[in-house]
Amino acid sequence: MTKRKIIIDTDPGIDDTYAIIAALSYAGFDVLGITVVAGNVGLEPCVNNALGIVKLMDADCKVYPGAEGSLNQLREESGYELKTTVHGESGLGSVTLTPDLTKKSDTHAVDFILETVKAHPDEVEIISLGPMTNLALAIEKDRNTMKQVKTIWSMGGGVHLGNRTPVAEFNYWFDPEAVKETYDLGEDIEINMIGLDITHQTQITLDDLFFLRTECGEIGQILSRIAEHYQDMYWKFIKQTGVIIHDLVAVMTAIDPTLTDKFDILVGVNLQIETEGICKGQTVVQKHQSLFAEAGLAKNANVYMDIDPIAFKKAFMKLCFPEAYDDYRRYILKEKHG
């Protein structure tokens, strides 16, 4: 099998942790490195969480610290300002992973991205699970090299939904200027948006979390434990049991795009983002090419809109916990074996 060359750009993060574990479990990925950006929490705890995940998975890749805040925060030298309780103070609820400090690189995330793409032109896929600040900084530093990225898979945005505000998803709200810069590259490379419209179809239930804790070993126990804080937040804010593991959807879709029917992908659309005001972070997707072409707007995105939620969860369980997969189908999904 020819492995796909992958960079994971992330701000771990409860749902990032699920996603990174899935990516590191997939034999078809060669994860060349994990680049880190501030977002769910500040840069330092995000880096430590990434180092902890690498140690947990005994992964042969390094972690590259990147942007300490959004583009505007960096330009104004104001530093990381977001105060949020969604992921807890550490980013992983009440869980603390032991970081493998030997896997922390002195190379900045932006430099690693550019060096890697130069070494493997038109081969590297970037899975973006957090704010797109590192990607935008790389574009600003060397746009021609970033034109040689094969694909970007981005968890962020939404056509009809928001979660940080009524119209804006968190990752894109956190640094909309970076989103704009990145999608401006969409004329030259493939960018796939995995937004809230698709992720909100994939609820991980309390039964799923119970099964992870009791039947899926150390990793399953950790995933279940970190989701406890997430569950508390979901109940507090929207009175929902179970959780949405947004970033996992992006990774599983990158692994197997057929989880989404091809007719439920908006291919070659125009995506724009609002960078200020009450609608800051809102993505505006124009589907009708005749209209946006007439306005001189580019095809710069593919937007995934639908997914088979059961197929998604089965794919995740089979990938990460194959020894428990049959029991999951039988006792949690209640599938009959014929």
> Active-site residues: which are they?
11, 246
Tokens of 197: 């419209």
3-state SS, residue 128: strand
Q: Which helix (H) or strand (E) holds 206?
A: helix 206-215
Tell which phi-psi region holds residue 79, choosing left (phi > 0), alpha (psi between -120 and 50) or beta. Answer: left
- The counts of H helices and E strands in the chain are 15, 11
Tokens of 112: 């690693």
Q: What is the C-alpha separation between 248 and 338, in angstroms, rounded?
A: 30
Q: What is the C-alpha separation between 259 and 290, in angstroms, rounded?
A: 29
3-state SS, residue 126: strand
Cβ–Cβ contacts within 10 Å for residue 151, how many? 18
Cβ–Cβ contacts within 10 Å for residue 283, how many? 25
Cβ–Cβ contacts within 10 Å for residue 149, how many? 26
Tell which phi-psi region holds residue 58, choosing left (phi > 0), alpha (psi between -120 and 50) or beta. Answer: left
Nearest to 35 by CA among 97, 104, 99: 104
Burial 78-96 (b: 16+ CB within 10 A, else e): eebebeeebbbebbbbebe
Kindly write down the DSSP assignment for every residue of 53-93, as one continuous string: HHHHHT-S-EEEE--SS-HHHHHHT--------TT-SSSST
3-state SS, residue 255: helix
Tokens of 337: 């074996």
Instruction: Find the length of the chain.
Output: 338
